[in-house]
């Protein structure tokens, strides 16, 4: 049986395959960048592809030391200026997202070249893009993608490492350090998966019957919580909201109630970690349901998702995202079973504003087709 949890468990083998074959998998995109003499990169992505890119962005900026930006397809198509010295990379796991296809078409009409990263061999994107590259996620039949997000972030990190090495932006020692740290994340991932299940089972009442989950982090793991909020919203059908930890105190805090559940994702760095743990402890005055993804032993262990070891903060999304994906799965399986409100199901069935260029790309967990 196909489940989100099965795909989450497959993540280490997928990522290790990308890491171990990183030069081969990324060489086409590197050639496209260098052959066209680009000096900056602009990603266009939506949904989980946007969040997977966001998970890799701090790493890429640190490694490549160049301007790298990220925009959603609708905004890119309607509100952006296009530049000849920029490499435009569109990202769509299905390769059939209508907003990506439309934005690519608009760019091509302005005589710009573009690349598209996809998660499957057969896609509509390849009819438009100058090059289409599979980031090697493998099969993922459930539309609430999990290993696709982590594998995309991993691919982009490998791309930036190989481009930086070729351009002599980083030395050989740094190159191998980061690859080793990326491999390390996938040794940690299974432990975090098991720990997340354990914390959930020991605190089931906190996680079930919720109306809202608030996720806080910053820097490397802002993409982690953004994807976590999306996954919670689309599977559990409750409100998942992501905020930069400090900015949450400057307004978004005020609608919070004791019924809300908070998860703070620690970056394992200094001083942001200290501040986020301080915020987590303070939020106990608002709600008893405050959890952290952290190894900080000053926080209550029963409300802490933890691992025996940590990685470099820049690559930590490659394992930390697992916690939020597993929680989305567990909450959904123990509550609404992926079914949204009947009005939402009718909205999806009507398909008046289609988001995919092909039907039946993924399993119908929401039972839309039975209406």
pLDDT, residue 1, reads 74
When the pLDDT of each residue in the chain is averaged and rounded to a whole number, the result is: 96
Determine contact, residues 4/328, Cβ cutoff 8 Å.
yes
Asked if residue 23 is part of any domain, the answer here is yes
Q: Do 56 and 136 belong to one domain?
A: yes
CA distance 178 to 331: 34
Q: Do 69 and 194 belong to one domain?
A: no
- The DSSP element (H or E) to which 73 belongs, if any, is helix 73-79
Q: Provide the pLDDT confidence category of residue 368 given band limits of 50, 70 and 90.
A: confident
pLDDT, residue 150, reads 98
Can you tell me the mean pLDDT for 235-253? 97
Asked if residue 343 is part of any domain, the answer here is no
Q: Do 132 and 61 belong to one domain?
A: yes
CA distance 84 to 306: 46
pLDDT of 370 strictly over 80: no
Q: Provide the pLDDT confidence category of residue 359 given band limits of 50, 70 and 90.
A: confident
Q: What percent of the chain has pLDDT over 90?
A: 92
Q: Where are the beta strands (DSSP E) in the chain?
A: 40-45, 68-71, 86-92, 115-118, 131-134, 212-217, 239-244, 261-265, 290-293, 304-305
Asked if residue 350 is part of any domain, the answer here is no
Looking at the structure of the chain, the number of domains it has is: 2
Which stretch of 93-107, 162-176, 295-309, 338-352 has the lowest confidence by average pLDDT? Answer: 338-352
Q: What percent of the chain has pLDDT over 70?
A: 100
Q: Do 196 and 319 belong to one domain?
A: yes
Q: Provide the pLDDT confidence category of residue 363 given band limits of 50, 70 and 90.
A: confident
Q: Do 125 and 222 belong to one domain?
A: no
* Residues 6 or more apart whose Cβ sits within 8 Å of residue 134: 117, 118, 119, 120, 121
Determine contact, residues 277/263, Cβ cutoff 8 Å.
no
Asked if residue 177 is part of any domain, the answer here is no
Short-list 227, 319, 218, 232, CA closest to 270: 218
Q: Do 166 and 192 belong to one domain?
A: no
pLDDT, residue 181, reads 98
Q: Do 161 and 32 belong to one domain?
A: yes
Asked if residue 363 is part of any domain, the answer here is no
- The DSSP element (H or E) to which 319 belongs, if any, is helix 317-333
Q: Do 196 and 164 belong to one domain?
A: no
Q: Do 144 and 196 belong to one domain?
A: no
Q: Provide the pLDDT confidence category of residue 369 given band limits of 50, 70 and 90.
A: confident
Exposure string for 7-21, b = 16+ CB within 10 A, e = fewer: bbbbbbebbbbbbee
Can you tell me the mean pLDDT for 299-322? 98
Asked if residue 176 is part of any domain, the answer here is no
Asked if residue 88 is part of any domain, the answer here is yes
pLDDT, residue 367, reads 83
Can you tell me the mean pLDDT for 215-222? 98
pLDDT of 371 strictly over 80: no
Tell me the residue range of the domain where 60 lies.
4-170
The encoded tokens of residue 139 equal: 């099969």
- Strand order, beta sheet including 261-265: 239-244, 212-217, 261-265, 290-293, 304-305
The encoded tokens of residue 226 equal: 């953004």
Q: Provide the pLDDT confidence category of residue 319 given band limits of 50, 70 and 90.
A: very high
Q: Do 218 and 287 belong to one domain?
A: yes
Q: Which CATH number covers residue 157? A: 3.40.50.10490
Q: Do 101 and 146 belong to one domain?
A: yes
pLDDT, residue 365, reads 87
Q: Do 161 and 304 belong to one domain?
A: no
The encoded tokens of residue 169 equal: 């932006």
Asked if residue 362 is part of any domain, the answer here is no
């Amino acid at each position: 049986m196909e489940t989100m949890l099965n795909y989450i468990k497959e993540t280490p083998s997928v990522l290790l395959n990308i890491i171990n074959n990183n030069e081969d998998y990324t060489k086409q995109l590197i050639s496209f960048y260098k052959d066209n003499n680009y000096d900056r990169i602009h990603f266009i992505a939506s949904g989980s592809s946007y969040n997977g890119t966001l998970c890799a962005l701090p790493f890429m900026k640190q490694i490549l030391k160049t301007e790298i930006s990220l925009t959603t397809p609708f905004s890119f198509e309607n509100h952006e200026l296009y530049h000849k010295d920029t490499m435009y990379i569109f990202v769509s796991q299905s390769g059939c997202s209508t907003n990506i296809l439309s934005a690519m078409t608009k760019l091509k009409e302005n005589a710009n070249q573009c690349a598209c990263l996809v998660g499957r061999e057969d896609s509509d994107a390849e009819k438009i893009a100058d090059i289409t590259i599979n980031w090697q996620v493998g099969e993922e039949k459930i539309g609430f993608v999990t290993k696709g997000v982590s594998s995309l972030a991993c691919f982009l990190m490998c791309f930036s490492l190989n481009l930086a090495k070729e351009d002599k932006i980083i030395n050989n020692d740094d190159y191998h350090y980061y690859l080793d740290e990326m491999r390390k994340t996938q040794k940690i991932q299974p432990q975090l998966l098991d720990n997340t299940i354990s914390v959930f089972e020991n605190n089931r009442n906190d996680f079930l019957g919720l109306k809202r989950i608030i996720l806080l982090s910053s820097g490397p793991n802002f993409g982690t919580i953004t994807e976590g909020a999306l996954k919670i919203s689309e599977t559990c059908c409750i409100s998942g909201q992501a905020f930069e930890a400090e900015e949450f105190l400057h307004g978004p805090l005020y609608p919070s109630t004791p019924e809300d559940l908070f998860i703070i994702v620690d970056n394992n760095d200094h001083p942001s970690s200290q501040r986020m743990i301080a915020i987590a402890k303070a939020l106990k005055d608002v709600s008893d349901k405050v959890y952290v993804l952290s190894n900080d032993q000053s926080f209550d262990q029963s409300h802490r998702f933890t691992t025996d070891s940590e990685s470099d903060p820049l690559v930590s999304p490659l394992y930390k995202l697992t916690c939020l994906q597993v929680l989305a799965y567990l909450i959904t399986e123990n509550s609404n079973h992926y079914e949204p409100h009947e009005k939402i199901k009718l909205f999806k069935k009507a398909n008046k504003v289609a988001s995919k260029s092909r039907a039946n790309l993924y399993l119908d967990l929401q039972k839309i087709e039975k209406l």
